[in-house]
C-alpha cells in the first residue's frame, strides 16, 4: 500500500497534477513522503524484533544485504538495458561515464554520488530514469547504525535501541544548518568528507526508524499501550504546536499508524497473501517510476489520467511479482544457509499480529 502510494504521488507530479495530500501535513511533504516514513517505521519495528529474537551479527548483516541488493542490481541492469532502447543518443554516447555512475553510484551510494539519470533517456521534464533510488542510501544507513546494538550483550540490546532513539531525536531537534557541509573542490575530498551523504535526510529518517524500534520494545503487541502511545503523541503535538517537537510527534505518529496497519494479521489473510503473492513492496518502489513515465508518454494522451495510472500500477505489480518470484525470494532463501544465532522462538509481538514468516520476509 505504501509503495503504491509512492507511485500515485509520483504519477500525479509527472502528470502536472497536485499531490493528493499536498500541504495537508507539511509544506515539504506529500503522499510519497508519508509512504517513505511508513517504510522506515516498518523497517525499524520489524528489524528490532528480529534482533531481539536472537539474530546474530552475521545473520542480520547478510539478511539486510540479501533483501536490498539482488533486486537493486537487477533493477539497475534492467534500467540500463531499457535506457539503451529509449535514449535519444547513439549507443556510443549512451554508454558513457554517466551510465557507469548510474550503476555504481547506486550500488555504493556512500562513496559515489547516486545517479538518477541516464544519458538521453526521458528528456525534460522527466529526465530521471529512476527517481526513488536516492532513499535506499538512508535505509542502508539505518541498517548499519543498528549494528551498534550488537556491541551490547543481549540483555542490554533493548536499552541500546532506546539510546539510539534518544540520540536521533536530539539530532532531529538540532538546527538543520548545523548539518550542512561546505562544498569541496574535488571529488576525492568530497568522498573523504562524506559529502555525498546528506545528514539532514538521515537524521529525519533515522529518528522515525528508531522511534519505531522503541515502540516495538515498549509497546509490543499490547493494544492499550498503542492507544496510550498515540494519545501521548497527540498531547505532545498539541503542547508544542509549531515547533520541531510537534512536527516529530506528527510524523512519528503517522508512521506508527502504518506500522500498526502493516503488522495486522488481517492484511495477510491468514498467510494467504504471502503464500500466493509474496512481498511486492520493494520492487513496486523500484520499478514504479520508470513504468509510470512510459505509460504517461505512450497512453496518457489516448486514455486520460486515471486509466493510465491504473495501467501503470497494474504493470508495476506484475513486474514486482516477477521480481519477487525470480530474484528476491530466491535471494532470501539463501538466509537458510546462515546460522541465525539463538534458537528461533516466536515472541509475543507475533501473536495475533504478523506471523513469524512475515518477519522472515524482511
Which residue did the predictor score with more confidence, 263 or 118?
118
Mean pLDDT for 171-179 is 76
Phi, psi dihedrals of residue 341, rounded to the nearest 5°: 120, -115
DSSP reduced 3-state for 175? coil
Count of alpha carbons within 13 angstroms of residue 339, beta-carbon side: 5
Count of alpha carbons within 13 angstroms of residue 213, beta-carbon side: 31
Q: Which three cell numbers stand for residue 140?
A: 542502508
The pLDDT score that the predictor gives to residue 348 is: 42
238-252, 284-298, 340-354 — most confident range? 284-298
Which residue did the predictor score with more confidence, 226 or 351?
226
Question: CA-to-CA distance for 345 and 333, rounded, in angstroms?
Answer: 19
Tell me the sheet residues that pair with 264: 353
Instruction: Give which of 217, 223, 302, 300 is closest to 260, Cα–Cα.
Output: 223
Question: CA-to-CA distance for 173 and 167, rounded, in angstroms?
Answer: 10
Whether 247 and 37 have beta carbons less than 8 Å apart is answered as: no
Question: CA-to-CA distance for 139 and 143, rounded, in angstroms?
Answer: 6
Instruction: Give which of 285, 281, 293, 280 is closest to 117, Cα–Cα.
Output: 293
Question: CA-to-CA distance for 225 and 329, rounded, in angstroms?
Answer: 34
Q: Which three cell numbers stand for residue 210?
A: 528508531
Asked if the model's pLDDT at residue 211 lies above 90, the reply is yes
Q: Which three cell numbers stand for residue 167?
A: 540520540
The pLDDT score that the predictor gives to residue 27 is: 53
The pLDDT score that the predictor gives to residue 111 is: 75
Based on its alpha-carbon atoms, the radius of gyration of the chain, rounded to whole angstroms, reads 21
Question: CA-to-CA distance for 73 and 221, rounded, in angstroms?
Answer: 36
Which residue did the predictor score with more confidence, 298 or 113?
298
Mean pLDDT for 234-253 is 93
Helix or strand (DSSP H, E) at 159: helix 157-173
Confidence band for 117, pLDDT divided at 50, 70 and 90: very high
pTM: 0.89
Report the mean per-residue pLDDT for the chain.
86
The pLDDT score that the predictor gives to residue 222 is: 84
Asked if the model's pLDDT at residue 360 lies above 50, the reply is no
Instruction: Give which of 12, 71, 1, 65 is closest to 39, Cα–Cα.
Output: 1
Helix or strand (DSSP H, E) at 184: none
Tell me the sheet residues that pair with 353: 264
Domain extent listing, the chain: 2-360
What lies within 8 Å, CB to CB, of 323 at 6+ separation is 71, 74, 75, 282, 283, 286, 287
Which residue did the predictor score with more confidence, 144 or 358?
144
Amino acid at each position: 500500500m505504501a509503495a503504491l502510494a509512492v507511485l500515485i504521488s509520483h504519477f500525479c507530479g509527472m502528470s502536472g497534477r497536485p499531490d493528493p495530500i499536498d500541504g495537508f501535513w507539511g509544506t515539504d511533504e506529500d503522499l510519497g513522503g508519508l509512504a517513505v516514513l511508513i517504510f522506515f517505521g516498518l523497517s525499524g519495528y520489524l528489524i528490532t524484533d528480529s534482533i531481539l529474537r536472537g539474530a546474530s551479527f552475521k545473520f542480520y548483516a547478510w539478511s539486510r544485504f540479501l533483501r536490498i541488493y539482488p533486486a537493486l542490481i537487477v533493477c539497475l541492469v534492467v534500467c540500463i538495458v531499457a535506457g539503451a532502447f529509449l535514449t535519444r543518443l547513439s549507443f556510443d554516447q549512451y554508454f558513457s561515464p554517466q551510465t557507469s555512475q548510474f550503476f555504481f553510484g547506486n550500488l555504493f551510494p556512500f562513496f559515489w554520488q547516486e545517479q538518477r539519470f541516464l544519458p538521453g533517456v526521458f528528456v525534460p521534464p522527466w529526465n530521471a530514469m529512476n527517481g526513488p533510488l536516492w532513499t535506499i542510501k538512508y535505509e542502508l544507513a539505518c541498517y548499519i547504525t543498528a549494528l551498534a546494538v550488537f556491541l551490547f550483550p543481549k540483555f542490554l540490546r533493548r536499552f541500546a535501541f532506546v539510546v539510539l532513539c534518544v540520540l536521533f531525536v536530539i539530532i532531529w531537534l538540532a538546527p538543520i544548518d548545523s548539518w550542512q557541509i561546505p562544498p569541496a573542490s574535488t571529488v576525492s575530498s568530497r568522498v573523504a568528507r562524506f559529502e555525498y551523504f546528506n545528514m539532514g535526510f538521515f537524521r529525519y529518517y533515522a529518528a522515525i526508524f528508531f522511534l519505531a524500534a522503541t515502540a516495538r520494545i515498549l509497546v509490543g503487541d499490547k493494544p492499550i499501550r498503542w492507544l496510550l502511545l498515540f494519545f501521548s503523541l497527540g498531547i505532545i503535538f498539541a503542547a508544542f504546536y509549531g515547533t520541531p517537537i510537534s512536527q516529530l510527534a506528527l510524523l512519528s505518529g503517522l508512521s506508527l499508524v502504518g506500522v500498526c496497519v502493516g503488522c495486522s494479521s488481517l492484511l495477510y489473510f491468514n498467510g494467504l497473501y504471502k503464500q500466493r503473492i509474496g512481498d511486492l513492496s520493494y520492487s513496486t518502489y523500484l520499478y514504479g517510476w520508470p513504468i509510470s513515465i512510459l505509460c504517461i508518454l505512450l497512453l496518457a494522451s489516448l486514455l486520460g489520467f486515471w486509466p493510465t495510472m491504473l495501467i501503470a500500477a497494474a504493470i508495476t505489480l506484475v513486474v514486482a511479482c516477477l521480481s519477487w518470484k525470480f530474484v528476491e525470494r530466491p535471494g532470501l532463501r539463501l538466509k537458510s544457509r546462515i546460522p541465525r544465532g539463538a534458537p528461533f522462538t516466536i515472541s509475543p509481538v507475533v501473536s495475533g499480529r504478523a506471523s513469524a514468516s512475515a518477519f522472515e520476509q524482511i
